[in-house]
Homo-oligomer: A and B are copies of this chain.
Amino acid sequence: MNEEIKIIDVRKNILSDNENQAELIREDLRRKKVFMVNLMASPGAGKTSLIIATLRQLKDQLRIGVVEGDVESTVDTEKILHEGVPAVQIQTGGACHLDAPMINAGLGDLDLTHLDLVFIENIGNLICPAEFDTGSDLRVMILSVPEGDDKVLKYPLMFTVCDALIVNKTDYLSITDFDMPLLHRRVQELNPKMKVFEVSCRTGAGMKEWSQWLLAQVQKKIA
């Protein structure tokens, strides 16, 4: 009889196990008064550049650490360590996202009692990372101007789960047909609560607004 067949929904179980572990991480960070940001974006959108530019803005106010996710290579972690900030590398060896167990392992290598803010630099991917809760307090995504203003339509889950959108590489605006008002309208329609910042990590434009907003979020938790 069909009704007697037990069907194991592997995908659902995986996601549910992940959520349980993410909740444990969140509880641990609450006790330790550490704020965690899960930063997601396409390859090359500027995740490492944004983290470095933010470190430089907030280094006198907050003690910051970084969990770096990459399929391969350690180039980004080397850049972060060069800033004098603690960083741990997670190499997924093929996996296309970071999940809560990986973050748990990564956090174990950071001295959380001496940190206020941890950045997770997720794998460069607009799809899979959106599905996995990492235990973060805030999900932030970057969209870079050269990627185009239509990404809201094509990758709606990422734009739905994130609390803030950073539109990076605004210094490219003059040489593209990127329509910023159209992007704002599309974001507003899909996720009206999303906070949007326009920045250029290269020129520094907009970095102060973003950093001060982030600082306020962190201070609400660690005060």
Contacts and interface: CB of A to CB of B under 8 A. Distances in A.
For the complex of A and B, list the 10 residue pairs with the smallest distance between their C-beta atoms, beginning with the closest. Answer: A44-B147, A146-B146, A96-B127, A73-B153, A42-B43, A44-B148, A42-B42, A43-B126, A73-B154, A96-B128
12 contacts: A42-B43, A42-B124, A43-B126, A44-B148, A72-B153, A72-B156, A75-B153, A75-B154, A123-B127, A124-B127, A146-B169, A172-B172
Contacts of A155: 43, 71-72, 124
A88 B123 CA distance: 30
Interface in A126-180: 126-128, 131, 144, 146-148, 150-151, 153-157, 169, 171-172, 175
A70 interface: yes
A70 B154 contact: yes
Nearest to A94: B157
From A43, A75, A157, A169, residue with most partner B Cβ within 10 Å: A43
B154 A43 contact: yes
A57 interface: no
A146 B171 CA distance: 12
A151 B43 contact: yes
A223 interface: no
Majority secondary structure, A binding face: mixed
Contacts of A144: 44, 146
Nearest to A41: B43
Contacts of A123: 127
Nearest to A10: B10
Nearest to A145: B146
Contacts of A42: 42-44, 124, 147
A155 B146 CA distance: 20
Contacts of A72: 153-156
Contacts of A10: 10
Contacts of A172: 146, 172, 175
Contact of A127 (B125, B151, B154): B125
Given A146-B169, A172-B175, A175-B171, A124 B44 contact: no
Contacts of A44: 42, 144, 146-148, 151
